[in-house]
Amino acid sequence: MSASTAPPPPKFSGASATPTKFPSSKPTLLLPSKNCKSLTRCELKSLDNNKWTVDCVSGTGSDPIHIILKPPATTPLGMTSLDSAVKTSKRVCLFYCAEMKALAERIAAESDAIELRGITWRTFEDGFPNLFISNAHGIRGQHVAFLASFSSPGVIFEQLSVIYALPKLFVSSFTLVLPFFPTGTSERMEEEGDVATAFTLARILSNIPISKGGPTSLVIFDIHALQERFYFGDNILPCFESAIPLLLKRLQQLPDSDNISIAFPDDGAWKRFHKQLQHFPTIICAKVREGDQRIVRLKEGEPNGRHVVIVDDLVQSGGTLIECQVKLSRKPKHNSWQIKLCSYSTCRIFFFFFTLTWLF
């Protein structure tokens, strides 16, 4: 129905000495009796929020009751579209840890729908956190997100304290953005006694209190193993995103994109990302560790005369990437481009672009 056309009036029976009801499940209209000489004015609100004004005027003696239906005032189509856009837009209150302040400010600068909110990060004399969420009453009924960074064990506890507190402030929804899942490499046991700390952290995050809008949404970029999704419980909704599509877009924009090969330092990196990078020729290396030394061998593929982009699933010291680059660059007529895809640093850069589509 267009904004300039009034909705049809509801149908009901004429004058009657007894109350008359609508034939549908809509609100009931009680008509005055024949002897009523006063003007009765009531308002009907239909299920689609269209309002009709009903004037019930009684006559004298046996005169019937006269029903006058007045349609609601029409609104210009442009104003209706604008009001609808304002009502449906999703405003987000974005909290962040101290380490993510600069990134949070960049994100908020891209959209008026994102409002930065502050947290006071302090410690007591014994070193334990002394935290305060500013204007906690002001986020009631709002969509709330927290930009976290578990870069070291020393900062996880204070952030978890805030993460557990925000959903309990009567917010409409709560989203936790954790670009880097730090315990991702310890997701399996190779012998009895190994502790899979990835499972431990997943269990901790799974116990985040449920907000008014339901379970917490957890956004993680390029997690080490996709099967870690099953480590999380039913009280959290893990959403695994990837920066690889942005890498593909960048590589395709290069002038020599048809002369690019993707090199994986080991089989683990190949298994994790080869399907997303199958448009490029592949080079696979094999990694052998002997004490502190890393020996990289060329297992499959030909780097000669190609631009090579090295893609790894996780980077800690960067030693494997360096050895892989050295091994490939020893081939004659080889152009080597070294791109280090450290999950943490890469996701901090690419999250800026992804936020524009995710937060809304």
- Which tokens go with 353? 């672009």
Nearest alpha carbon to residue 180 among 218, 142, 209, 217: 218
The phi, psi pair for 46, rounded to 5°, reads: -80, 175
- What is the reported pLDDT for 266? 84
Strands (E), 224-343: 236-241, 260-264, 282-290, 293-300, 307-310, 335-337
SS3 at position 135: coil
Sign of CA dihedral 145, 103, 228, 283: positive
Q: Are 202 and 231 in contact (CB under 8 A)?
A: yes
Pairing of strands 51-57, 39-45: antiparallel
- What is the reported pLDDT for 280? 92
The phi, psi pair for 104, rounded to 5°, reads: -60, -40
- What is the reported pLDDT for 203? 94
Interacting residues of 322 by C-beta distance below 8 A, sequence separation 6+: none
Residue owning tokens 């019930």 = 56
- What is the reported pLDDT for 352? 33
- What is the reported pLDDT for 192? 86
SS3 at position 46: coil
Interacting residues of 182 by C-beta distance below 8 A, sequence separation 6+: 150, 151, 201
pLDDT in tens, the chain (360 residues): 445 555 555 554 444 444 444 444 444 445 555 555 555 455 554 544 555 555 555 555 555 555 555 565 555 554 444 444 444 468 999 999 999 999 999 999 999 999 999 999 999 999 999 999 999 999 999 999 999 999 889 999 999 999 999 999 999 999 999 998 887 566 666 788 888 888 999 999 999 999 999 999 999 998 888 888 888 999 999 999 988 888 889 988 988 888 999 999 888 888 888 888 888 999 998 877 677 776 788 888 888 888 899 998 877 777 778 888 888 887 554 444 443 333 323 333 333 333 333 332
- What is the reported pLDDT for 19? 47
